[in-house]
Every structure is written in C-alpha cells, then in structure tokens.
C-alpha cells in the first residue's frame, strides 16, 4: 500500500509525515516523526508503554492507526516539557526526584497516564492513582515509588 503525506498535529506542531494506512501511531511517532520518547513494549495493548494523549484522552499508540489521527491533537512525552526552555514538566521532575525510574522503559507511558490523571483530578487519592495507572506495567519499581511521585507532584502544585 502506498505511503501518502498526512499532516498530524503532534505536540502543538503540524508535521507532514509519510504514512501508509496500516501504520500504527507508535511506529510513526518513533520512526517518521523522530519522537523516540514513546516506547513500544508489547505492541498488543497490554503494557501501556506506548501511552500518548489524543484530544485529552490517554490512549495506546500501538493500537491506533496513525492515519486515523488526522485533525486530532497528539501529545507525547516530549510535548509535556516546556517547549521553549526544554524544562521538564513537574511530573517528570517528580519521577526523577522520587526514584520512580529504574530501567525507564515504562516511564514515558507512566508519566503520560499520570499527567492525564492530574490534569483531570489534581488531588487524586492513592486509589485514584492506582486505578489511573492500572493500564501501565512496570517490571522494575514495584509501583510504590511511582505512586509516591504522583502524590508528591499533586501536593507540590500539579502538572500545569
């Protein structure tokens, strides 16, 4: 199937990308847009490593056709840092400061799910956090430090 030029709005920028109908967003982000922050773990919807935010919803880029994202706003892990200064978002800092990162493979997905939670619910309970992150697997940390990082970020003023 021939590739066509499709415009996708990624992190506030319109990007013209070469996309075939069957390309999934995770691959297009990494290989066409050069945004390798988004990880592809299972490619099957099970791990959440590929989580991005589309039109305000945390979704899985490995199960999303890139071509179906025309006209939508896509935010990746690269897009939540300050776009001018490059300064990390408070949730990114919280993950670092609280040791919520070990191998780091789950981290972009964890952060996108956490970011999405905190934009909707700035003062989540531990139960809210556990539920919001229940679609993200981490094989290293045991989750506790991740939950603490999200709580600390909420306590220190949130993500915005």
Binding site for another protein (CB under 8 A): 1, 20-24, 27, 31, 43-46, 48, 51, 57-60, 62-65, 67-68, 113, 131-132, 134-137
Answer yes or no whether residue 46 interacts with ligand FAD by CB under 6 A.
yes
- Taking the complex as a whole, the smallest distance from the CB of residue 59 to ligand FAD amounts, in Å, to 11
Answer yes or no whether residue 45 interacts with ligand FAD by CB under 6 A.
yes
Say which residue the tokens 């982000």 belong to.
29
Residue at shortest CB range from ligand FAD: 45
| Residue 150, CA distances (Å) to 15, 95, 113, 154 in order | 31, 8, 10, 6
Given another protein, ligand FES, ligand FAD, none, residue 64, with its beta carbon under 5 to 8 Å by kind, binds another protein
| Residue 143, CA distances (Å) to 9, 64, 94, 104 in order | 32, 26, 14, 13
Out of 7, 16, 31, 45, which residue is the one contacting ligand FES (CB under 6 A)?
45
Axis crossing angle, helix 107-120 with helix 144-155, rounded to the nearest 10: 40
Residues that bind ligand FAD (CB under 6 A): 45-46
């Amino acid at each position: 199937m021939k590739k066509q030029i499709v415009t996708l709005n990624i992190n506030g920028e319109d990007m013209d990308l070469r996309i075939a109908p069957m390309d999934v967003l995770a691959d297009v982000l990494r290989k066409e847009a050069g945004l390798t922050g988004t990880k592809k773990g299972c490619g099957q919807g099970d791990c959440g490593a590929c989580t991005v935010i589309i039109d305000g919803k945390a979704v899985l880029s490995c199960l999303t056709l890139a071509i179906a994202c025309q006209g939508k706003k896509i935010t990746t892990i690269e897009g939540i840092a300050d776009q001018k200064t490059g300064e990390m978002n408070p949730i990114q800092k919280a993950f670092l400061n609280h040791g919520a990162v070990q191998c780091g493979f789950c981290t972009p997905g964890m952060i996108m799910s956490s970011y999405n939670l905190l934009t909707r619910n700035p003062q989540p309970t531990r139960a809210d956090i556990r539920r919001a992150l229940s679609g993200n697997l981490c094989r290293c940390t045991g989750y506790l430090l991740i939950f603490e990082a999200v709580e600390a970020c909420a306590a220190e003023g949130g993500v915005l």
